[in-house]
Chains A and B, each alone.
Chain A
Amino acid sequence: MTGDKATVWSRLALLVVLLWTLLPIYWFLKNAFLTPDEIARFPPPLYPLEPTPAAFFNIFGIDYTLVDGTVRRGSGQANQIIRGLINSAIVSAVVTAVTLLVVLPLAYVFARLDFAHKNKLLFAILLAVALPPVSTLIPFYAMYIQLGLAGTLTGLIIVTLTITIPFVTWMLIGFFRNLPPVERLALIDGFSRFETFRKIILPLGKSGVAVAAVIAFLFAWNEYTYALVLVNGTTANTLPTAISGFLFQHPEPSHLAASLALTILPPALVAFFLQRHIADMNLVDPVR
């Protein structure tokens, strides 16, 4: 009896959570498939009666002819969207690669080796994670103006790394610490420290590597605060800031919705394909 009741309540809770997260996403996705007339209608349609992919062509500057012969013109913001997309892809790819390159050995060393002042250094990393980005925004901006890094992808990548590196390191330390003590085995088998890391630890910890990559990628892809201050309105503009800028440019709602869909597509794909790895990985507080 109580078991049934619990099931009912947990299902209900699940339903609420699903509505809470999925409804807004559904609402804007729906708008991407509507015509401007349909969006302007009141009450708004709950689902697209005649879904059209026109907006997805338009945001890349391509005209689209509907079945009834009307032509939907390419968006005037197409240049900004395409540039934002390319910039976002570059920033995310570079940040992910550099983060992995730095974080994997760093987290491994913290997790598995003993050295002087280890805990102090760990707390330095924690501090870097705990610092709100806004507090470093102005210093970075002032510094970047002098260094000529404001409005450049390089500048944005460096700033993003200051967040992803400590955060992902902190996360991976717990993961590496939970691996079995295979280093001793590897030492007996004649592997050097570096070989052990490359040939034993990394393949063994591929879930951790995958999750680290995902976190770094998502963070870089979604980064907004720094981009807004450092690159907004320049040629180094990224997708989130570019799209937020449209709010002041009176775009077609369906174009706005389609570009938003563009921004959530990579995270959605990543989450979908890597959920198994994420479930594999149990994250543990690195400070015992």
Chain B
Amino acid sequence: MARIDLEQLQKNFGEHTAVQGLDLMIEDGELLVLLGPSGCGKTTTLNCIAGLETPSSGRILFDGEDVTAKPPHQRNIAMVFQSSLLYPHMTARKNIGASLAKQGLDEQAIADRIAEAAATVDITDLLDKLPSQLSGGERQRVATAKAIVRQPRAFLLDEPLAALDAALRLTLRSELVNLQKRLATTMVFVTHDQVEAMTMGDRIAVMNDGRLEQIGSPDEIYNHPTTLFVASFVGSPPMNFVAARDIVDLPDTDGGAWRNLASRENGMGVTLGVRPQHLRISAEPNGGMPTTVFALEHLGRESVLIMEDDRKKKLRALVEPGFKARVGDRLFALPDPKHCLLFDENGNAMAKPATDGG
């Protein structure tokens, strides 16, 4: 168990900068999710923490101790790789025990530890099978057992669930969180799946282009994104964005107060963001944006209405499951001013102006 600090972590691959001056503090016992699109540097960051990559500059501290120059196994971390990588020619038992031989434990102690770890993730029956004889979910469990058996200071997981089917991912996701909470071991979990990040993380660190965009609880990330990137990356269906210059010249009608949000800030580069659940849809002019229905997706508990504004930009709204609309219908989409977010030209969140609307 350890608190992990990254100080000005930088990693270059030739000309390319994968991680750029990253400062990150991971609390002891927390589950931190590194979230970002592919190529954003999240896996490189994880590999640096693990010791698989040597940072170009910066420091990595475990409980205040500088481990930047230490090889992976001396850091005593456990890592689960993409697709739950295992040694293909070894049984589950040998796979799980592989790291223990280096810890100077005797055979009995190793056998006990393996049995205990296997029992924790419920794979005692599978110990004598080869990875090729296991299903994807079982392999994942073996990889997890391999991680917990060494009683590491931290778990590092690199998209371990990415290759599994959706139903299994759902199950294993909660199992991993449950396990992490029971063991109270620091865990860093890398994913590009924002749903996984939202559901699993105590905190989420959103990365983009080798930089940290925002770090915070799932609630903060979702409701108070500090950048346009975070706002657009997190949430499903994604947030709607409207450029200020596209709405100021809409005909002035009743209920159009929301438009002041954008125009008041006088910058035409301002972007207004609103989540799909905060758009009110009406067939009558309601002060909102005039749109044309593009598609209606039924999700059961709700439906996603996809519309196009007059500039062919897509807008998404969550509507009641019974909502009826035909492709080509004219509808008006009115954002709830209370829930609108504003971003400046550089994509940074702006202090929300007080509004009289809503």
Residues of A within 8 A of B (CB): 180-182, 184-191, 200, 203-204, 206
Contact = CB atoms under 8 A, between A and B. Distances in A.
Interface stretch (B26-34, B77-85, B210-218, B340-348): B77-85
Contacts of A203: 89
A189 B51 CA distance: 12
Given A200-B87, A204-B87, A204-B88, A185 B81 contact: yes
B18 to A, nearest CB: 16
B73 A185 contact: no
B73 A188 contact: yes
Nearest to A202: B89
B182 to A, nearest CB: 22
A190 B79 contact: no
Counting from the closest, the 6 A-B pairs by CB-CB distance are: A190-B73, A190-B102, A189-B99, A204-B89, A189-B98, A188-B79
Contacts of A180: 85, 88
Contacts of A188: 50, 52, 72-73, 77-79, 99
Contacts of A186: 98
29 contacts: A180-B85, A180-B88, A182-B85, A182-B87, A182-B88, A185-B81, A185-B85, A185-B86, A185-B87, A185-B98, A186-B98, A187-B51, A187-B72, A188-B50, A188-B52, A188-B72, A188-B73, A188-B77, A188-B78, A188-B79, A188-B99, A189-B99, A190-B73, A190-B99, A191-B102, A203-B89, A204-B87, A204-B88, A204-B89
A182 B79 CA distance: 12
A184 B81 contact: yes
Nearest to A183: B52
A198 to B, nearest CB: 13
Interface of B: 50-52, 71-73, 77-79, 81, 85-89, 98-99, 102-103
B337 to A, nearest CB: 50
B102 A189 contact: yes
Contacts of B99: 188-190
A191 B101 CA distance: 10
Contacts of B98: 185-186, 189
B92 to A, nearest CB: 14
Task: With a 10 A CB-CB cut-off, give which of A184, A185, A203, A206 has the most chain B CB atoms.
Answer: A185
A187 B73 contact: yes
Nearest to B74: A190
A271 B227 CA distance: 64
Contact of B85 (A181, A190, A206): A181
A182 B94 CA distance: 14
B87 A184 contact: no
Contacts of A181: 81, 85
A203 B89 CA distance: 7
A227 B78 CA distance: 56
A36 B331 CA distance: 102
A193 to B, nearest CB: 11
B81 A189 contact: no
Nearest to B50: A188
Task: With a 10 A CB-CB cut-off, give which of A189, A190, A203, A206 has the most chain B CB atoms.
Answer: A189
Contacts of A184: 52, 79, 81, 85
Contacts of B73: 187-190
A200 B72 CA distance: 17
Given A180-B88, A190-B99, 5 more contacts: A180-B85, A182-B85, A185-B81, A191-B102, A204-B88
B46 to A, nearest CB: 11
A16 B286 CA distance: 82
Task: With a 10 A CB-CB cut-off, give which of A182, A188, A206 has the most chain B CB atoms.
Answer: A188
Contact of A187 (B52, B87, B89, B103): B52
Nearest to A182: B87
A187 B86 CA distance: 13
A89 to B, nearest CB: 32
B295 to A, nearest CB: 41
Contacts of A190: 72-73, 99, 102-103
Nearest to A185: B85
A199 to B, nearest CB: 9
A116 to B, nearest CB: 12
Contacts of A185: 79, 81, 85-87, 98
A208 to B, nearest CB: 12
Nearest to B147: A188
Contacts of B71: 187
Nearest to B89: A204
A189 B52 CA distance: 12
A51 to B, nearest CB: 46
B287 to A, nearest CB: 57
A12 B86 CA distance: 45
A204 B71 CA distance: 24
A210 to B, nearest CB: 14
Nearest to B82: A181
A158 to B, nearest CB: 35
A194 to B, nearest CB: 14
A184 B77 CA distance: 13
A187 B99 CA distance: 10
A191 B87 CA distance: 13
Nearest to B102: A190
Nearest to B103: A190
Contacts of A191: 102
A200 B85 CA distance: 14
A190 B72 CA distance: 7
A198 B50 CA distance: 23
A86 to B, nearest CB: 37
